[in-house]
Amino acid sequence: MRVIKYPIKENWSSILQRPTKTVDDIEATVNQVFGDVQKNGDTAVNKYTQLFDGVTLANNLVSSSEIEEAKKLISSELKEAIITAQKNITAFHLAQKTTKVFVETTNGVECWQEKRPIQKVGLYIPGGTAPLFSTVLMLAIPAQIAGCKEIVLCSPPNKEGKIHPAILFAANLCGVTKIIKVGGIQAVAGLTFGTKAIPQVYKIFGPGNQFVTVAKQLATKYGVAIDMPAGPSELLVVADDSAKANYVASDLLSQAEHGADSQVILVSTSQKLIDEVAVEIDKQLLALPRIEIAKKAIENSKSILVANDEIALALINEYGPEHFIVCTNNNDYYIDNIANAGSVFIGNYTPESAGDYASGTNHTLPTNGFSKAYSGVNLDSFTKSITFQKISKEGIQNIGNAIEIMAEAEGLQAHKNAVSIRLKDLK
């Protein structure tokens, strides 16, 4: 990791730049695939599955027999771990349910808000170098709690034309209604336009590489909502001498192993800690099966030495990390004042991995600085808020004149008439 000491604020923007390609670099490819899928449906989807995933499928719909086979292929220990995580994630998201909001704004005017599930949702589950079955739990559980009628899961097949059995087990456990072997741009395009094999959905969820991120953003141009622009994973740790260097290094590497385009950052007021973490990273890297991926991510990463907590916090808010670990003598200062972060992990014994798997919070989070404006996935992500109003005779008489005056001032006579005709009947 590159060490940067006491950077001036004018240089923060360049120092905190993500190692991602610009949209222009990949938008042409995404547009091409989208256009092909829109025009040629499953024929185009299958072509790109063959091109990008190296497999030709006679049928890309996962059958019930494949799900039953998957249940037999994973260990009882893994099943128990997934069920433990399911219980905690369910508990946390159930707690997010809210009741109807009701108010009588004036006598005779009743207004209320109720939430309704999004009927059709698409879940994108990366396969690639790491089959993220944990993401199935993070997306399907709140979708099920919200009451979504159609929960369509897309995940890329391996070279044998199969989806990892743990993904299938988790999907079946959490109420997914259809599982399709398709990944990448073509999966997002299929969910956007609909094909014979892939249902069209109203909102698409899930992380992915930069191509998937741009594809999701393109889907919004066709009237399909997305959870957020979620690209390569990232982690920022703020730590001082109260932190354990080996813990900090393990957290940084846990995100670095996601992908070569991941980024991890250590911010500290302690040069001693930065030095100790660097030694630990070199030591722990050697034991990782994904060492080459983690090494490349570490090359994109930085340790930043700052003078005090105030400067550290300002720099962190400027960055807007996806995952934010706080391990200092002054944790409350960071907790109370953090403005831009996807999810926060506090203290020596709260590894980011806990949020990835089993603590209960959701791990589908905004990256690339989008935490400045976006929330991570939560129960509300799968619902819409609908407002209702009911006005009595007394109510329309109480607010009718105000409506008439405002409508006339805007030059909208028919709006005024809609009230006037009622008030006239009530005289």
- The token duo for 366 is 């905004």
Residues with Cβ < 8 Å from 85, sequence gap 6 or more?
A: 134, 137, 357, 358
93 annotated among ligand-binding-site residues: no
62 secondary structure, DSSP code: P
Q: From CA 239, how far away is CA 325, in angstroms rounded?
A: 8
Q: Is 255 annotated as a binding residue?
A: yes
164 is in an annotated binding site: no
Distance CA 343, CA 224 (A): 26
Q: Are 149 and 117 in contact (CB under 8 A)?
A: yes
Two tokens, residue 184? 């990448």
- Are 403 and 422 in contact, with CB atoms under 8 Å apart? no
Six-digit token pair at 31?
């547009």
Question: Does residue 134 have a known ligand-binding role?
Answer: no
Which pairing describes strands 109-117 and 383-391: parallel, antiparallel, or unpaired?
Answer: antiparallel
Phi-psi region of 347 (alpha: psi -120 to 50; beta: other; left: phi over 0): left
Tell whether residue 394 is among the known ligand binding residues.
no
- Binding residue per annotation — 319? no
The answer on whether 363 is annotated among ligand-binding residues is: no
Question: What is the 3-state composition of the chain as percent helix, strand, coil, each rounded to the nearest 5?
Answer: 50, 15, 35
* 323 belongs to the catalytic site: yes
Task: Decide: helix, strand or coil at residue 375.
Answer: coil
Q: Is 164 a catalytic residue?
A: no
Tell me how far apart the alpha carbons of residues 5 and 10 are, in angstroms, rounded to a whole number: 14
CB of 412 closer than 8 Å to CB of 404: no
Cα(357)–Cα(359) distance, rounded to whole angstroms? 7
The residue type at 63: S
Active-site residue, from 93, 322, 352, 363: 322
Sign of the alpha-carbon torsion through 207, 61, 29, 164: positive
Which residues on adjacent β-strands are paired with residue 109?
106, 391
Query: How many secondary structure helices (H) and strands (E) does the chain include?
Result: 17, 14
Contact 344, 255 (CB under 8 A): no
> Per the annotation, does 247 bind a ligand?
no
**Angle (CA) 214 215 221, round 5°:** 100
106, amino acid identity: T
Annotated binding site for Zn(2+): 255, 258, 356, 415
Annotated binding site for NAD(+): 124, 186, 209
User: What positions carry a catalytic annotation?
Assistant: 322-323
Annotated binding site: 124, 186, 209, 233, 255, 258, 323, 356, 410, 415
